[in-house]
Amino acid sequence: QVQLVESGGGLVQAGGSLRLSCVVSGRTIGTVVMGWFRQAPGKEREFVAGVNYDSGNSEYTEYVKGRFTISRDNDKNTAYLQMNSLSPEDTAVYYCAIDRHHAVRILTIPLEYDYWGQGTQVTVSS
Residue in 54, 30, 28, 31 with CA at minimum distance from that of residue 102: 31
pLDDT class of 20 with cuts at 50, 70, 90: very high
CB 22 within 8 A of CB 96: yes
pLDDT for res 24: 98
pLDDT for res 126: 94
**Dihedrals phi, psi of 5, to nearest 5 degrees:** -125, 115
**Exposed, middle or buried, 33 (CB in 10 Å: 0-12/13-18/19+)?**
buried
What is the chain's Cα-based Rg? 13
Query: How far apart are alpha carbons 114 and 1 in whole angstroms?
Result: 12
